[in-house]
Each structure stands twice: as C-alpha cells, then as structure tokens.
Chains A and B, each alone.
Chain A
Amino acid sequence: MLASGTWGLGENLDLYLTKEEIKSNIGAFVSKGISRFPKKGNPPPRLYETPCGLINSIGLENPGLEVFKRDYLPKLLSYKVPLIINLHGEEIEDFVALAEGFKEEKVDGIELNISCPNVKKGGIAFSSDPKGVKTLVKEVRKVWERFLAVKLSPVGPVYEIAEICEKEGVDALVVANTYPALGVIGLAPLKVIKGGLSGPAIKPLTLRLVYELAQKVELPIIGSGGILSGKDALEYLVCGAKAFQIGVANLIDPTSAVKIIQEMEELKKKHGLFG
C-alpha cells in the first residue's frame, strides 16, 4: 500500500508509473488525510532531515472533503486499485461526517488518523485517550460498514488502544504513524521544527511494535515505518504484519513500490516464505 501523505492525491502518480505497474504492484492506495474543510497546512519549514530519517510538519494540507470528491476521487478510482481514505478530524463529529461523506462513493475503506488532537478534550491526542478512541470507533462504525482501519500512533497506550479497536470491530490496525520529534534549525536564537519522524531511522522501533502487537491481538496488522527495500518489507511480514505501507520511499523515488515488490518477491522465493 502507498501510505497516506506520501503520494499526494494521486494527481501526478501516472507521470512516474504506468497504469499497469500501479495495478500489479500496489495493493491499495491510502489517500492523503482528508478533513471536512480545506486545510492550508503549516508555514515553512515543513521538512527537516535527520540521520536516516525525515521530520515532517505538513499540517495536513488538503482540499477538504467536497473538493477531494469532485476533483481528485474520479482519477483515483480510474486506477482500479482498492482505495482507502485516510480521515483527519479534530473531534469525533468530524470523523463521523467524513465517513458519511464517503458512504455513497466507491471507496473500499477508511483509515482513521488518531494522532491528531481532540479539540473537545482540550487538545489531547485521540491516541493518548483509550476511552476517546473507543467512542470514536463506535460512532464511526454506526455509519460505516466497509473496511475500517485505525492508524495507531507509536506513542501512548498503544496496546490498550489496539485491544479496544479489536473489541469495537475495527478490521485492521496500521502500525504505526510517525514518531513525535523535534529538529533544531537554529541554535541562537533557538528555532525548532516539531513534527513526525519517519524513514529507516524508525524501522527497528516500529518493527518491535508490530512484533509485540501481533502476539496480543488477532486483528490483521499493516506495518508501516521506514520500508525502503524488499527486505525491509519482508521483515515486517515475518514479524507479524499481514500487509505493509511504504511512505518515505515514495518521496525518495516515485517508482519505489515496483522495486520493493519485485525485491520482496525474489526474497520470498529465496527463503521459501509465504508459499
């Protein structure tokens, strides 16, 4: 799968991959985070490179539900690749409204971004608040019967939230979002960027989460964190993930998905893994 926010809204994807390459290598698209209303995103700087990693602070720039459906969705659907919409909300009502907004569309599923602050609870992230996640999933489930994934934050009560998701009828867990991080841009005066760290720097951390979670919950786990090669992807699968997402790899090379899948298939054969 292509991870949310790492391939835009699909508007330029076909400049780099043929329709055939897309169809035969990408199991699902996960859209950029969509909010009810347009979001301009954060002022620059939005990016900061760290050793083997990248901090991003994009601020969920997106055109909002209605413009997305009108201007971007038709092209995405034309690829005939399963489409999962990543939803971003500041309160439970936003997620419910978004899920309802996609009910009549031919999308295959939704992925809830719970790393964002819950405005009604004083800005505490949903991912720090198991009860909040429970209510969120319950409310979304009332209006959404299709595939429902929750993208876990790697920090906070991760295991508790995973178990809640399982009880409340979530279909899969995406493990995990980026790690809260900070980069120092200027020493004096101090200037910092706060954002989410991704890339190979975080792979061992997220792999451990996948490994541990796979033993705690029955839910399928979609691994996501620092996959740049077929070997990286395979490591996630042998550690218990049923599928994986690639993120930063798309930013390095827009054709990464094809290369990663090819490498992984060769390695699977070599090691006699997964039939």
Chain B
Amino acid sequence: MYQGEVIKNLPLSQNVYLLRVKTDLDIIFSFNPGQFVKIKINERIDPLIPRPFTIHDVKKNSFYVLYQVVGKGTKALSLVQPGNKIEFLGPLGKPFPKLENYVICAGGIGIAGFIYLLESIKRKTHPYVLPKKIFYGARTAEDLVCYPFLEGIGTKVEIATEDGSQGYKGLITEPLIKYLEKNKVDVLACGPLPMLKAVAKIAQSFGVKAYLTMETFLSCGTGFCKGCVIPLKNGNYAHLCIEGPTLLAEEIDFEALS
C-alpha cells in the first residue's frame, strides 16, 4: 500500500463526504475513470478490511473520493482528520468502457466516479467522449451533491428527486425511459442495486447496451481471494474487483444475485 495524507474530509450533505488525499507518488496519474482505490486507516484492525472507493478525481498531487457513510468502514473514514496519514492501494479494477454514443445514469452517490470521467474529458487527459445526456437522481435536492459541477460540463443534465424538491418528481429511470423512446444510445449507470436492475431491464427493452458499475463487499481488490463474485447468466461468476466494477448488464444474473 502507498502512503497518503488527508488534506480534506468534509461533509457535503448530511452523510456524504469529500475526501482529498495528497501523495507525492506518481501512481495516482495512472488512475483511470471507473477504477477504484482501497483505503486503510492506519493501524486499525476493526474494521479489518480496507474499503473500496471509486476514484472521484485526480488533481495535482491528490486524489479525491466522494463517499456516503453507510456502515462501520465509511463511518470510521468520516472521522479521519486533515493531517492524518492513510494508506491506499490502487488503481484497482477496470476503467469505464470507452463508449461513443451513450448517456450516464447516476443514482445518489453513484455519481462519484462519473465526475472523474467528465473531468478527464474536459481536461483531455483520457480518451473518453462526452455523454449525450446525464441523468442524475437522488432522494432529495440536498443529496444532489455534484449538481453544481454538472451545470458547467457541456452536456444536458436531467435531474430527478424522489420528493420532488428538484427536477422531475420520481425515479431517475422514468426520464431515462422517455429519452430512450426517442434516442438509441447506450447507458453507463451507477447507483443503488434496484436502479441498476431497472436500467438493465430498460436497456434490454430498448435494444441498447447498459454498462453497470456494481458494488459488493470485497476484501482483497486484487483478484487474490475470489470473494467478490457476481453471478452471470452463463452460469459463471465475475470477480468484480478485477473483471469489474463495470459489467455489461445483459451478462448479469440479477435473480441469482438477490
């Protein structure tokens, strides 16, 4: 693992935090959009396993992680203070696929990795093309922590909130369906499992591809332990840490997963 220093660890909403980790190591410049890092809070053995986080951005001498506090690991991370040392391992997993004609669909904290993708396009550091549109949904307007950034990105953004406090009132998959009725584009999605399942179904019904960034508890992140499997329709398992985290929706056996 590599050493880093926490420069910032700020709440952006009630339970979403932005972490900035500074390091002098060049390894961070090999981080690609869609890949992830494991973060170890030094000397802690409970929680034992360093948690994986999608790479939210890489700038100057730092990488950024946007995370939601959901359990013991993220709670512990939220208590880390600027100046504290942490260890990290990465880049892990495969980058997002390079799509030409596509939209992004993000639910809640699922937006985290797409910011790095969009920043990479803006800075011309990685050969990705802009999505035709970004669908970004959350429970409430307060949870749309990345909305200010998306306004200046140069592509249309459609917002949905479950309580109707901003944008369309309802699930983000509803405006996505409306769009796909008129446009034949692939979908790159990340968000809660029910949303990903819905996106897989929607894409199938419109005859387009969906690429889903999946999540599961994983331990090694390196392919060593074979613990993070996602069942596939062909009867095999995908090892999410090395074959993912983004998988082709039509290959995933969602029934076996639940």
Question: Counting CB contacts under 8 A, is B218 at the interface?
Answer: yes
User: Nearest chain A CB to B47's CB is how many angstroms away?
Assistant: 6
User: Nearest chain B CB to A201's CB is how many angstroms away?
Assistant: 8
Q: Which of B167-192 contact A (CB under 8 A)?
A: none
Residue B223 contacts which of A11, A49, A54 (CB distance < 8 angstroms)? Answer: A11
Question: Counting CB contacts under 8 A, is A182 at the interface?
Answer: no
* Interface pair B217/A200, CB less than 8 Å apart: no
* Interface pair A253/B48, CB less than 8 Å apart: no
* 9-residue interface stretch from B59-67, B76-84, B115-123, B226-234: B226-234
User: Nearest chain A CB to B251's CB is how many angstroms away?
Assistant: 15
* Interface pair B257/A44, CB less than 8 Å apart: yes
Query: Could you say which residues of chain B place their CB within 8 Å of the CB of A187?
Result: none
B46, B50, B226, B228: residue with the most chain A Cβ atoms closer than 10 Å: B226
Task: Give a binary string over A249-263; 1 marks a CB under 8 Å from any B CB, 0 the rest.
Answer: 011111100000000
Q: Which of B1-48 contact A (CB under 8 A)?
A: 1, 40, 45-48
A41-B237, A44-B229 known; A6 vs B224 contact (CB < 8 Å): yes
Complex: A44 Cα to B40 Cα, angstroms: 24
- Say which size band chain A's interface belongs to: 20 to 34
Query: Could you say which residues of chain A place their CB within 8 Å of the CB of B224?
Result: 6-8, 12, 250-251, 254
User: Nearest chain B CB to A157's CB is how many angstroms away?
Assistant: 30
Residue B222 contacts which of A12, A44, A248 (CB distance < 8 angstroms)? Answer: A12
* Interface pair B46/A52, CB less than 8 Å apart: yes
A6-B224, A12-B224, A53-B48 known; A253 vs B89 contact (CB < 8 Å): yes
Question: Counting CB contacts under 8 A, is A204 at the interface?
Answer: no
Complex: A23 Cα to B228 Cα, angstroms: 29
Query: Could you say which residues of chain A place their CB within 8 Å of the CB of B229?
Result: 41, 43-44, 46
Other contacts beyond A12-B222, A44-B229, A47-B219: 14, CB < 8 A: A5-B225, A7-B224, A8-B224, A16-B222, A44-B228, A44-B230, A44-B257, A49-B47, A52-B45, A56-B219, A251-B219, A252-B40, A252-B50, A253-B40
